[in-house]
Amino acid sequence: MENKENVFDTIADEHQENNEQPIPNNSSEYDYNNLPDTPVGDMKKYVRQNLDGKTVKILSAKLFEATTDDEEITALTNKDIRYKKPRFILTYDSKNDEGLNDREYLSGVIQFVQKDGSLSQPKFFNPSGENQISNLWRLVAAKKNIEPEDLSPREFMGFLNSGISVKLADTVVKYNKTEHHKNLPVEIL
């Protein structure tokens, strides 16, 4: 009987020989059932529409935690403080010209890097902060008729995901020395 080599062992050996990048520790397998059925040639790129002055309903507020692959930032005021930026996305019920729900990424949420390398719980609000998430936090607190310091992160996220309507403003944001326009909530109705 002829001795046949295992094909999978051969592939694994070739992987090592080609010095391919290892799979990151925090990576998880993507469920292919979540992939779109739309052919790539028919896919539409998301294009941000100007929603200045429009009233929309927030369909969802989602927070995606920072990962070990995200850039680590050193605080300007204290070099011993390091943090990473999770992603925060508001999705609105309005549709852009491509038929996709309008959405906006808001900056300002941070997670501190702990001494053991793990990340803290997300921090949304900074009393002296003038970032996008702190401004939204203040709007929610005002609507709930409480002080911003008395609002909890769970209450904040629950409120945003409760089907509220907001008035948006076209807001100019500078990032990497370039001006960008964002549709940010300025009033909760």
Residue 99 has pLDDT above 70, yes or no: yes
| Positive or negative torsion for Cα 38, 39, 42, 48 | positive
Higher pLDDT pick, 57 / 45? 57
Nearest CA to 112 among 124, 94, 97?
A: 124
The answer to whether 50 and 170 are in contact (CB under 8 A) is: yes
What is the arithmetic mean of pLDDT over 140-161? 97
Where residue 6 falls among pLDDT bands split at 50, 70, 90? low
Burial of 12 (0-12, 13-18, 19+ CB in 10 A): exposed
The answer to whether 58 and 163 are in contact (CB under 8 A) is: yes
State residue 45's pLDDT score.
Answer: 67
Residue 52 contacts by C-beta under 8 Å, 6 or more apart in sequence?
A: 168, 169, 170, 183
∠180-63-79 over CA atoms, to 5°? 75
* Average model confidence (pLDDT) across the chain: 85
Residue 139 contacts by C-beta under 8 Å, 6 or more apart in sequence?
A: 166, 185, 186, 187, 188
Cα separation, 126 vs 112, whole angstroms = 13
Helix (H) or strand (E) holding 141: helix 132-143
Where residue 77 falls among pLDDT bands split at 50, 70, 90? confident
What is the arithmetic mean of pLDDT over 84-101? 92
Residue 8 has pLDDT above 90, yes or no: no
Residue 182 has pLDDT above 80, yes or no: yes
Residues 17-42: tens digit of each pLDDT:
444 444 445 545 667 776 667 777 77
Q: What is the pTM of this model?
A: 0.76
The answer to whether 131 and 108 are in contact (CB under 8 A) is: yes
State residue 69's pLDDT score.
Answer: 82
What is the arithmetic mean of pLDDT over 135-161? 97
The answer to whether 136 and 185 are in contact (CB under 8 A) is: yes
Which residue, chain included where needed, has tokens 């300025």?
Answer: 186
Residues 101-132: tens digit of each pLDDT:
999 999 999 999 999 989 999 999 999 888 99
The answer to whether 97 and 124 are in contact (CB under 8 A) is: no
CA-based radius of gyration for the chain: 22
